[in-house]
Each structure stands twice: as structure tokens, then as C-alpha cells.
Amino acid sequence: MIEWFTATDHKKIGIMYIVATMTFFVAAGILAMMIRAQLARPDNALLSAQLYNQIFTLHGTAMIFFVIAPFGLGLANFIVPLQIGAPDMAFPRLNATSLWLFILGGIIMFLGFATYGGASANGWTNYAPLSEISEGTGAGNDFWTIGVLMAGVSTILTAVNLTTTVFLLRAPGMTMWRVPIFTWEIVATSLLILMAFPSLTAVLFMVLIDRHLGGHFFDPVYGGNPILYQHLFWFFGHPEVYVMILPYFGIVTEVIATFSHKPVFGYVGLVLAAFAIAGLSIGVWAHHMFTTGAVSNPFFSAVSFLIAVPTGVKFVNWIGTMWKGSLEFTTAMLFSLGFLFNFLLGGITGVMVASPPIDYQTHDSYFIVHHFHYTLGGGSMFALFSALFFWFPKIFGVRLNETLGKWFFWLMFIGFNLTFLPMAFMGIEGMARRVYTYPNVEHLALLNGLATAGGAIMGIAFLLFIANVFISAFANVPVPSNPWGGYSLEWATSSPPPEHNFETLPPITSRRPALDLMNT
């Protein structure tokens, strides 16, 4: 047991990331179920308004900072060194430090529920001056700030580690232009983290200074400026959504190419699109601030529209990869296809709200909740499960049950769309987000009822997934090194890999070394 606490091997750290993020996922999922229970009927009083605020705050924060973003980087921790033929990450001790900063950060944030006054209730954005008013947001908000601060610093350290690893530790012959797309997406993500995350660290320290050390950065009474908070927060906050999507683009690319049994279509285009998305996402932060009237709406709107272009390129590449391939509909493939469908819907509403007139109408309504759940839930979360089914045999040496997996996928797909599609219409009918109840007007009762039913289906589906993990682990059927006919280098070593990753490295002469090895 103690060896796990002191482990610096990237595979153990990767596994701990996966276990920790899935644990936080369960906690955030339970909070989501409570939200849906409260909203099941109009004028419901199951939860108090203040408790509801705490629940949606921790649901959002946990999903963003402690599930979706760290799962991508944690998976990269396991997979990237294997994909490039490295014996470990460049800085193993730094890697372990990142892991523990992240885990302790998540724990301290959730401990907010145990404090007098409860957990933070300010939403995941923690806007000032709200976050600086002490009443009702006592230690819980401090715990939240400390937790997110630690997760943010952990992310920066991981980005340094991953970039260094990919740039310097590639195996002989593994040139940058032979590196798999997942690794490329991780490089783009890491560069984006290095550009955007320092702003988060700064703004959270400023909040702590204001709250405890007599500062007035965001307090207009003393000459501070609350808009400054929004600038600093969203300068990090928008790139963060790409930190939560780029790794998942990588996963989907690998899964689709593997189960289409074809090389990736438009490899260079995919790489360039990843960097175009990362670069553009630095120039769009104030599209979250259109309604403040304090920013240049035309600039931020125009750059936001531009992001649709490289994203469209990626869709063309994914479809081109499947074109005339012999498709194999495994659970991993189904989840990646589900990703394409859901993310497309989320992307289209994204283009809509990038237009200031539409944003003025839908700002802070359920339309926005609909939009970002389609990108991060139907998008990233579906790709997350795709990755688990795809790499589970490599990481743990057992394959997950495919029949249960397909049931899990279809229940998730139906449950997800049933939950979040109605939210678009709730938003159009004027239902505000972050409000603990709503009156029985228009079709709100019906739409919310559907959403809660969908939430219940997703809950049941997830129980099926947990059962699948245990059943598959007990069955314990050993898997070969390359169970799916994968092409990238991680499939050329045993499942799970030995301590130093490769007993013998195969020669790398193309972008598909594992297939080359199978054919010789």
C-alpha cells in the first residue's frame, strides 16, 4: 500500500489519476442527481436554496477541475511515454508532486461541506465581489479556493513535465511527425496550459488576499474593479475548456482510426488544427463577458467564430478516417461516435452563442447549460469512457465486458440526450441557470421532468459500468499485447507493460510501429 503513496513510476501515477478522477466523478455525479431531484418538479423544496447553491458549485468545480481536465492529463501520464517509447516521464518526482497536489486539492475542496456554513456556493466561476463577502461563504469558500489553486498549480507542473517528455524523450526514429495524434493533442494542451493557467493562480491568490489580508483588488468601494476579476478568470477559463477537449479529440482520433482499420486521414491537418484551436482560444476569453458592456464584442465574437474552422477540419478528418474503412463497432468506437454526434450539437450552439445578440438573450439561461453539457458531457465524458474501454486492457491487463459495455453506451446516449436536449428549450423559455427552483409556467415542468428521467437513466447506466469493471476484473482473462489491432507504439509492449515499459523497443520507421511489428 505504502508503495502507491511514494510511487513515481508514470504508470502507477497514471492509474492513481484515473482512480482519483473516477472517485471525484462519482461524488460529482451524486451531486448532479441531487440537482435533478430538486428540479424534478416546479416549486420544489427538497433542498434549500443555499444548499442547492453549494451543490451546483461543487458539481461544476469537481467535474471541471477534478474530473474532465485531470483525467485527460492523467491518461496522458500513462499513455504518452508508451506512445513515444520513453522509459518514464522526464521528471518522475515532479510528476508525483502534481498528482498529490491534485488529490489533496480535491479532498480539501469537498471538505468544505463539513465546515460551518457549508461548501462554497459561488458557482465554479467564483466571481468577485460575491466571493469576497464573508457572510455565508466562510471556510467553505477558502477550502474551495485552496483546492482549485492546488489543482491549477498541479496542472501547470504536469504541462511542463509532458512537454519536456515529448520533446526530449522520444525513442530512436520517433520523430515529431511520427508521434500519434493523442500525443500531439497533449502537446497542444500543455502549451495552452502554460499560457493560460498562471492567470488562474494569480486571480485566486488575489481573492485570498482580499478575503484575509486586507486587499481590495475587486472591491469598487476602495477603487478595486470586479471586471478585472472576470478578465483574469476568463483569460484562464476559456482556454480551460480546450484543456478539457483537446486530449479527448486525441482519444477519439486514435479510437476511430484503430476501429476503422485505416491510417488517420489528414494527420498533418489534425495536428495543425489542434494548434490553431489552442492559439485562437487564447483570444476569445471575453465572449463570456459580452453582457458586461466593458469589452470589445466584435473582436471576441469574430475570433470565437474562427474557432469553428479548425474544429470543422477535425470533423472532416474523422469522417475521412472512417470513409471506406472496415468499421468495427466496439464499445470504445460507439462512445467515440457518440462523441461526434453530441459534440457537433454542442459546437453548433457554441457558434450561436458566440454571436452577441443571441448571447444577450441566452446569457445565464439553461441554453448555456445545454450548450456546455453537450461539449463537455456528451463530448469529453463520452470520449473519457471511450478511452477507458480502449486502453483498459493496456492499463490493467483485462478487457472490459463488451456486451455490458454496449448496454452502458446506449443507456448513456439515451439518458444524456434526454437530460440535456430539453435544457435548450428551457433556456429559450427563460429558465435561469443556478436558481434552485422555477414556477410552473410554459413547458418548464414537462421539460424538467424529462431531464430528471434522463439523469436517472444515466445513473443506472453508470452502475452498470461499475458492475462491468468488477465482473471483468474477477473474470481476469489475460489479454495479448495488441488486442484491438492498434497501430501506435503502446500496443507493441505487454499488457500491462513491464516496469520500464519495453523489454525491447521495435524499430520505428513509420507512424504505425505496432502494425509494422505485427506484419514482420
Partner 1 sequence: MKTFVGLFFTSTGFGLAILIAYWFIGHEETTGTVLLAIMTSALAFAATYAVIAERNARLDGDGEKLTPEDTKGEDLGIFTTQSAYPILVALSVLFMLLGILYSPLLAFVAIVALLLCLWRLGAESARI
Q: How far is the CB of 20 from partner 1 (least distance, A)?
A: 13
Residue 238 site contact among partner 1, Cu ion, none (CB < 5 to 8 Å, cut-off depends on kind)? Cu ion
> What residue ranges bind Cu ion (CB under 5 A)?
238
Residues 465-504 that bind partner 1 (CB under 8 A): 499-500, 504
Q: How far is the CB of 101 from partner 1 (least distance, A)?
A: 5
Distances (CA, A) of 466 to 138, 414, 463: 36, 19, 5
Instruction: Build a one-symbol-per-residue string for 304-343: x at contacts with partner 1 by CB under 8 A, - elsewhere.
Output: ----------------------------------------
By CB under 8 A, is residue 240 in contact with partner 1?
A: no
Sign for the CA dihedral angle at 315, 381, 376, 366 comes to positive
By CB under 8 A, is residue 74 in contact with partner 1?
A: no
By CB under 8 A, is residue 254 in contact with partner 1?
A: no
**Candidate segments 231-239, 331-339, 366-374, 456-464, binder of partner 1 by CB under 8 A:** 231-239
Phi-psi region of 173 (alpha: psi -120 to 50; beta: other; left: phi over 0): left
Q: How far is the CB of 188 from partner 1 (least distance, A)?
A: 9
Instruction: Build a one-symbol-per-residue string for 120-159: x at contacts with partner 1 by CB under 8 A, - elsewhere.
Output: ----------------------x---x--xx--x------
Beta bridge partners of 432: 365
Residue 387 site contact among partner 1, Cu ion, none (CB < 5 to 8 Å, cut-off depends on kind)? none
Give the residue from 85, 101, 103 showing the smallest Cα distance to 93. 101
Q: How far is the CB of 207 from partner 1 (least distance, A)?
A: 11
Which DSSP helix (H) or strand (E) runs through 156?
Answer: helix 139-168
Q: How far is the CB of 344 from partner 1 (least distance, A)?
A: 27
Nearer to partner 1, 224 or 346 (CB): 224
- Asked if 144 contacts 186 with a C-beta cutoff of 8 angstroms, the reply is no
Please report, as a single letter, which amino acid is at residue 344: L
Residue 499 site contact among partner 1, Cu ion, none (CB < 5 to 8 Å, cut-off depends on kind)? partner 1
How many residues at the interface with partner 1, by CB under 8 A?
73
Q: How many CB atoms lie within 10 A of CB 45?
A: 10
By CB under 8 A, is residue 293 in contact with partner 1?
A: no
In order, the DSSP letters of 304-371 are HHHHHHHHHHHHHHHHHHHTT------HHHHHHHHHHHHHHHHHHHHHHHTSHHHHHHHTTBHHHHHH
By CB under 8 A, is residue 520 in contact with partner 1?
A: no
By CB under 8 A, is residue 279 in contact with partner 1?
A: yes
Binds partner 1 (CB under 8 A): choice among 34, 195, 352, 358: 195
By CB under 8 A, is residue 226 in contact with partner 1?
A: no
By CB under 8 A, is residue 507 in contact with partner 1?
A: yes
**Coil, helix or strand for 478?**
strand
The CA-based angle 122-125-130, given to 5 degrees, is: 40
Residue 382 site contact among partner 1, Cu ion, none (CB < 5 to 8 Å, cut-off depends on kind)? none
Binds partner 1 (CB under 8 A): choice among 43, 135, 168, 520: 168
Nearer to partner 1, 142 or 359 (CB): 142
What backbone phi and psi angles, to 5 degrees, belong to 434? 60, 25
Q: How many CB atoms lie within 10 A of CB 461?
A: 20
Cα–Cα distance for residue pair 100/202, rounded to 1 Å: 21
Alpha-carbon Rg for the chain in angstroms: 22
Per-residue b or e along 223-250, where b marks 16 or more CB atoms closer than 10 Å to that residue's CB: ebebbebbbbbbbbbbbbbbbbbbbbbb
**Candidate segments 294-302, 312-320, 321-329, 374-382, binder of partner 1 by CB under 8 A:** 294-302
Q: How far is the CB of 294 from partner 1 (least distance, A)?
A: 7
Please name the residue that has the C-alpha cell 461516435: 337
Q: How far is the CB of 323 from partner 1 (least distance, A)?
A: 29
Cα–Cα distance for residue pair 270/318, rounded to 1 Å: 9
Nearer to partner 1, 71 or 236 (CB): 236
